[in-house]
Chain A
Amino acid sequence: MSRTTWRARRADLIWRDWDEDLQIVYDVASGDTHALDRFSGDVVKHLQDDGLTAVQLASRLAGESNRPRMDLERQIADLLPRLDRLGLIDPIS
């Protein structure tokens, strides 16, 4: 599992959550509007607060779901590069 630490690229994200399967996030700096599934949205929100590795993220999110920790780590590891390509997060170390 990668030891890369990730952080949200910008603090200035505006969220709109209507308790649906998708959350909307508006990136003020880029002007992009993204629709994220709940899991992806939760990952970005955690990375707005702290720089975290996939393992650390899985640890935090494990408390919010019943899924096995290893599944979460794999899913997060797959997800992080995609969020990076959307311009929402950056590797910081």
Chain B
Amino acid sequence: MKFGDVKFGELPSAELIRLFRGGIAWRTGPYVVHVRSPVRFVARHLAWLYRDFGVLDYEEIPDAEISVRASGMGWRRVSIFSDGAVRYRRVARSQAVPLLEWTLNLSVFHRPTQNLLIHAAVVEREGCSLILPGEAGSGKSTLCAGLIHHGWRLLSDEVAVIRPSDGCLLPVPRPVSLKGGGIEALRRMAPEACLGPVWPRTPKGRVAHLLPPTTSVQRMDDPARPAWIVFPQFQPGAGCRIQPLGKADTLLHCAGNAFNYSILGRQGFEVLAGVIDDCQGYEMLFDDLWAAVDTLGGLRHPCMADLAVSGGACS
């Protein structure tokens, strides 16, 4: 077996369980994660969520090592460790998968890097990417899930990874974490969507994971040029309204949503300002997923015409 070419979904269940017991690594965009889980329940769910990802050789140096250990009476609880440090201790098994996904966010995507990281979902169409920054509850994940079922490619549900050399967005496709009413909203819009089980009573309420589309995983090495930055806010009764946002305000809001803008110093400012130069900024209120997806589908950007001629800008 050559590692990297074999997908989780192609391995027999017994082999997956064996690999997870010893530790298994995979790559999402520029990041390599290594997860060890002797807990079969967790291993089975992770194998399903990441079924299109290639299993890597152990020689790859991971950006984070996560381990799940059974604990408590009758092994009904689990503890989650990141690089040896405990992240969650003796939590119910029913919370293990969502908490492990959040541990991956914290351990991998928030670690020091030269890339500028903004808390945002990112999708792409015709080579142009749409950045959706937002706090928890803004509706960005629901919107992201709706968009990837209507012609957009998933780059990330959690973090916009901006490469300093050219301002392009690096894909980090992973399962989309839907919460609360977003789960039903997506089911109504896209009954064919591959949604996992609903995990109740997590720290963020009900959570379900949407499988990243196979094509998004296959294209995890294709960056995209930034074109639009939309700050979404789900607000019942608001209808769907979008209005342009000035570039100065767009920059300030992005800086406020960035994980490492201050740490990068001058480079962080220059990278972000360069992205803002190229992007159109908007604020959007929405209370209906269909209307929001339609509205965003109507966005046009000069880079679309450029790409049609040049055949692409990022490599």
- Tell me the A residues contacting B by CB distance below 8 Å: 14, 16, 18, 20-24, 26, 28, 31, 33, 35
B252/A26 in contact, CB under 8 A:
no
Known A16-B251, A31-B262: A26·B269 in contact at CB below 8 Å: yes
Instruction: Please judge, given known A-B contacts A14-B270, A26-B266, whether A35 and B247 are in contact too, CB under 8 Å.
Output: no
Can you give 10 A-B contacts (C-beta < 8 A)? Answer: A16-B251, A18-B248, A18-B276, A20-B246, A21-B246, A22-B248, A22-B249, A24-B251, A28-B265, A35-B252
A28 and B252 in contact, given A20-B247, A21-B246, A22-B246 (Cβ under 8 angstroms): no
Do residues A14 and B246 form an inter-chain contact, with CB atoms below 8 A?
no
The smallest beta-carbon distance between A78 and chain B, in angstroms, is 22
With both beta carbons as reference points, the residue of chain B lying nearest to A15 in the complex is identified as B273
Q: Is B248 in contact with A35, judged by CB distance below 8 angstroms? A: yes
Given contacts A16-B276, A18-B248, 7 further A-B contacts (CB under 8 A): A16-B273, A20-B246, A21-B246, A26-B269, A31-B262, A33-B269, A35-B252
| Alpha-carbon distance A85/B276, docked complex (angstroms) | 28
For A35, what are the chain B residues with a Cβ–Cβ distance below 8 Å? 248-249, 252
Return the contact of B252 from the options A14, A21, A31, A33 (Cβ within 8 A): A33
For A36, give the chain B residue with the smallest CB separation: B248
CB nearest neighbor in B for A14: B269
Q: How far is the CB of A29 from chain B (nearest CB, A)?
A: 10
Instruction: Please report B residues at the A interface, Cβ cutoff 8 Å.
Output: 246-249, 251-252, 255, 262, 265-266, 269-270, 273, 276
**In the bound complex, do residue B265 and residue A20 qualify as a contact, i.e. CB atoms below 8 Å apart?**
no
Give the dominant DSSP class at B's interface: helix
CA distance in complex: A26, B248 (Å): 12
**For A21, what are the chain B residues with a Cβ–Cβ distance below 8 Å?**
246, 248
Q: How far is the CA of A20 from the CA of B248 in the complex (A)?
A: 8
Chain B residue contacts of A20, Cβ below 8 A = 246-248
Contacts of B246 in A (CB 8 A): 18, 20-22
Taking the closest CB of chain B, its distance from the CB of A10, in whole angstroms, is 12
CA distance A28 to B262 in the complex (A): 11
Bound CA span A21–B269, Å: 20
Asked if B247 and A14 sit within 8 Å, CB to CB, the answer is no
Which residues of chain A are near B270, meaning CB under 8 Å? 14
B266 touches A14 (CB 8 A): yes
Q: Which residues of A contact B276 (CB under 8 A)?
A: 16, 18
B251 (CB) vs chain A CBs: closest residue? A24
B252 — which chain A residues lie within 8 A by C-beta?
24, 33, 35
Residues of chain B contacted by A18 (CB below 8 angstroms): 246-248, 276
Q: Please list the 10 inter-chain residue pairs (A to B) with the smallest Cβ-Cβ separation, ordered nearest first.
A: A22-B248, A18-B247, A26-B269, A20-B246, A16-B273, A24-B248, A28-B266, A35-B248, A20-B248, A31-B265
What A residues does B255 contact at CB under 8 A?
33
How many angstroms between the C-alpha atoms of A24 and B265 in the bound complex? 15
Query: How far apart sit A14 and B269, CA to CA, in the bound complex (Å)?
Result: 9
Chain A, Cβ-Cβ closest to B262: A31
Residues of chain B within 8 A (CB-CB) of A28 are 265-266
In the bound complex, CA of A14 to CA of B251 (Å): 14
B273–A24 contact, CB under 8 A?
yes
A33 to B261, CA, bound (A): 10
Q: Select from chain A the residue with minimum beta-carbon distance to B250.
A: A18
Which of A14, A18, A28 neighbours the largest number of chain B CB atoms within 10 Å of its CB? A18
Q: How far is the CB of B276 from chain A (nearest CB, A)?
A: 8
Kindly provide the distance from the CB of B129 to the nearest chain A CB, expressed in whole angstroms: 20
Chain A neighbourhood of B266, CB < 8 A: 14, 26, 28
Q: Which of B252, B265, B269 has the most CB of A within 10 A?
A: B269
Alpha-carbon gap, A33 to B252, bound state (A)? 8
Closest to A26 in B: B269
Residues from chain A with a CB closer than 8 A to the CB of B251 are 16, 24, 33
Complex: how many Å from CA A55 to CA B252?
A: 32
Contacts of B273 in A (CB 8 A): 16, 24, 26
